[in-house]
Amino acid sequence: MRQGRLALIGAAVIAVGAAIAVGVFSSDQDRLPEGFVAGNGRIEAEQVEIAPKTAGRVESVFAAEGALVEKDDVLVEMDTEELAAQLDKANAEIALARQGEAEAEAIVLQRQSELRLAQHELDRADTLVASDRISEAVFDERETARDVAKAVLGAARARVATATSQIAAAEAESRRIATQIDDSTLVAPMPGRVLYRLAEAGEVVNAGGPILTLLSLEDVYMEVFLPAHEAGLLPIGAEARIVLDALPDYAIPASVSFVSPEAQFTPKQVETLDEREKLVFRVRVRIPPDLIAGRIEHVKTGLRGVAVVRLDASQPWPEQLERRIPPELFE
């Protein structure tokens, strides 16, 4: 019986100790010096949908949920068989248009020769009619022949221009299809972690239909809600510290990257330092990307904690907020 009581007392002591450890910083919030403000939040990251530009069948998905990916890693391959056939057709049309252009240019050369001959005959007729060696009717016929040769040459040159335009149109279509084929390989636009895998190989997805949801690890932040009289004093770029419940003894350097221009009522899931405040401003505190870069494998969204922002740059940071992340945890 005594051992049972001792075990119960020991469990209670452990529970109280854990509560104290988690609440160390929470109790310090009320003792923050002048020029500092704190708010509760959780670690978040921007979500990016990995989706094709055009509808099609998924050929392969290379990333699993939870996987870490680097920038430009291939994540998804779409089926391109139909696009490849369209590209072959466009390239054949380019070849046909170029052949038509070559034929039109040959006809231009022929019509130019005919025009030179017609002009030469007209010049001779002009000399002969002046000496009454030919009639005016013959002269008129040769003048008409010269005019016809000019018109025919103009038409031949127009056909060359048409063939050139057809080549340009066919080449543009070829580039468009080639771009679609290139876009059928979906790559990671930034380092990140796969949050959701929404489609599998063989499925047909619509244009813009997400296949993967990626958490960007270049933009990791915590959002807090601060009362108006504190948010109004907050400049963009103000220094901040994030203290996570999972690492209560260390502070993560951060800075204010966004302050909402509009106030809102306090969300139910958020507690402010002054619960009498009804209107609050949403503030985003961002962790520097270079700090994230070497610790990507340890970044997890959803971790709860507290963000402390320095309103007065002349105030030194409290000692408990100068305890930086221990390097051995991340390196």
Query: Can you give the pLDDT at residue 266?
Result: 61
- For the chain (331 residues), the mean pLDDT of every run of 10, in chain order, is 35 34 42 86 92 94 92 95 94 93 90 88 82 80 87 90 92 94 94 92 94 89 87 86 87 90 66 58 89 73 90 85 58 42
Query: Can you give the pLDDT at residue 208?
Result: 93
Question: What DSSP character marks residue 80?
Answer: -
For residue 315, give Cα distances in angstroms to 309, 318, 321.
11, 9, 13
Q: Do the Cβ atoms of 75 and 188 come closer than 8 Å?
A: yes
Q: Which of 75, 72, 56, 73 is nearest to 64 (CA)?
A: 75
Sign of the C-alpha dihedral computed for residues 232, 237, 241 and 244 taken in this order: positive
Same domain? For 179 and 222 the reply is no
Residue 201 counted as domain residue: no
Q: Do the Cβ atoms of 219 and 189 come closer than 8 Å?
A: no
Same domain? For 87 and 176 the reply is yes
Q: What is the DSSP string of 8-77?
A: HHHHHHHHHHHHHHHTHHHHHHTTPPTTEEEEEEEEEEEEEEE--SS-EEEEEE---TT-EE-TT-EEEE
Dist CA 97 CA 118 (whole Å): 31
| Token pair 């907050």 in the structure block, residue | 234
Residue 95 counted as domain residue: yes
Q: Which of 170, 152, 166 is nearest to 115 (CA)?
A: 152
How many structural domains compose the chain? 2
Same domain? For 241 and 318 the reply is yes
Same domain? For 174 and 266 the reply is no
Residue 283 counted as domain residue: yes
Q: pTM score, two decimals?
A: 0.64
Same domain? For 278 and 226 the reply is yes
Query: Can you give the pLDDT at residue 185?
Result: 96
Query: Can you give the pLDDT at residue 25?
Result: 45
CATH of the domain at 312: 2.40.30.170
Which residues form the domain of 167? 81-183
Residue 319 counted as domain residue: yes
Residue 211 counted as domain residue: no
Residue 202 counted as domain residue: no
Dist CA 160 CA 226 (whole Å): 71
Residue 260 counted as domain residue: yes
Same domain? For 179 and 247 the reply is no
CATH of the domain at 158: 1.10.287
Same domain? For 175 and 232 the reply is no
